[in-house]
Every structure is written in structure tokens, then in C-alpha cells.
């Protein structure tokens, strides 16, 4: 075997070991995520809320309780989070919600929300079904959809 083949073999072994480690780390993170989701859903309550406003804001500008900001890792404090300002009973509260649900939440309407603390997990229409607003398509996406039809 010449030196080129030995170097190639060593690089392939290192890449294979790295892929195995990444796979194990990813499966561990996925397991933790599913456990935390199950834990959040176990303590969830259904509440009727009146949505006043919704925005994507930086965590520090969102008027969330200071303990929420303190518990957030330092590298996520500058990221934008979906924030909903809602009236729950007589109180006006600032709530966080799931990214998947943020587009479904109607503004200035009453909805039934499945919540755990200040986190909205799911939303259902109180008097009618909720529909996602159509996402604006780019020119290329419009052409592709027309070609598929």
C-alpha cells in the first residue's frame, strides 16, 4: 500500500467514527425532546383566551417574566420568539407559543388554547375552525405549482 491509500483509509475511518458519534448524539437529543414534549402535554390545560396581538420579538423585548429570560440559555436570548398578548379572564398576559401554531392564531378573536404555564401548545377555534393564512409564494414556486397542475 502506498502513502495515498493509507491517508485515504485513515480519513475514511475518522469520518465513519464522526458519523457514528453524531448519530448517537442526535438520537439522544431526539429522545430528550420527545420526553419534554410529553411532559409539557401532561400538565396542559384548556383555556379560553382573547388574542389581542401577536408578534415575533426578541426575548428581552417581549415583556415575559424575568425568570423566563434568566432560564433561557445565553445563546438563545437574542433570537426572536413567537409572542402572543392575550386576555385571560380579567388579566392581560404575554404568552409564548409554538412556532407551528403561531400562524394559526387569529388576532382580536377568542380561541380555546391548550396551555402549560405561559406556553401555548395548541389552538382551537371557539366558534369556527381556524385556517392557516396562505403563505406568499415566490415567482419560482408559482411556476412550479402551475407546472405540477
User: Taking the model in full, what pTM does it have?
Assistant: 0.69
Q: How far apart are alpha carbons 110 and 86 in whole angstroms?
A: 9
- Tens of pLDDT along the chain (149 residues) come to 789 999 999 999 999 999 999 999 999 999 999 998 899 889 899 999 999 999 999 988 888 888 988 988 888 888 899 999 999 989 999 999 988 899 889 899 899 999 998 999 999 886 666 665 666 778 888 888 888 87
In a domain, 24, yes or no: yes
Do 49 and 26 share a structural domain? no
CB 123 within 8 A of CB 103: no
Do 120 and 48 share a structural domain? yes
Specify the pLDDT at position 63: 86
Q: CA nearest 70: which of 59, 84, 79?
A: 59
Q: How far apart are alpha carbons 19 and 68 in whole angstroms?
A: 35
**Number of compact structural domains in the chain:** 2
Amino acid at each position: 500500500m502506498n502513502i495515498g491509500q493509507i491517508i485515504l483509509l485513515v480519513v475514511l475511518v475518522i469520518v465513519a467514527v464522526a458519523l457514528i458519534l453524531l448519530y448517537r448524539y442526535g438520537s439522544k437529543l431526539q429522545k430528550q425532546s420527545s420526553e419534554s414534549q410529553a411532559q409539557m402535554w401532561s400538565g396542559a390545560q384548556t383555556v379560553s383566551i382573547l388574542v389581542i396581538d401577536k408578534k415575533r420579538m426578541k426575548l428581552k423585548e417581549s415583556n415575559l417574566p424575568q425568570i423566563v429570560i434568566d432560564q433561557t440559555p445565553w445563546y438563545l436570548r437574542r433570537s426572536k420568539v413567537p409572542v402572543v398578548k392575550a386576555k385571560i379572564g380579567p388579566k392581560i398576559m404575554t404568552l409564548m407559543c409554538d412556532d407551528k401554531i403561531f400562524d394559526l392564531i387569529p388576532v382580536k378573536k377568542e380561541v380555546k388554547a391548550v396551555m402549560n404555564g405561559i406556553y401555548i401548545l395548541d389552538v382551537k377555534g371557539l366558534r369556527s375552525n381556524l385556517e392557516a393564512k396562505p403563505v406568499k409564494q415566490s415567482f419560482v414556486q408559482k411556476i412550479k405549482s402551475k407546472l405540477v397542475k
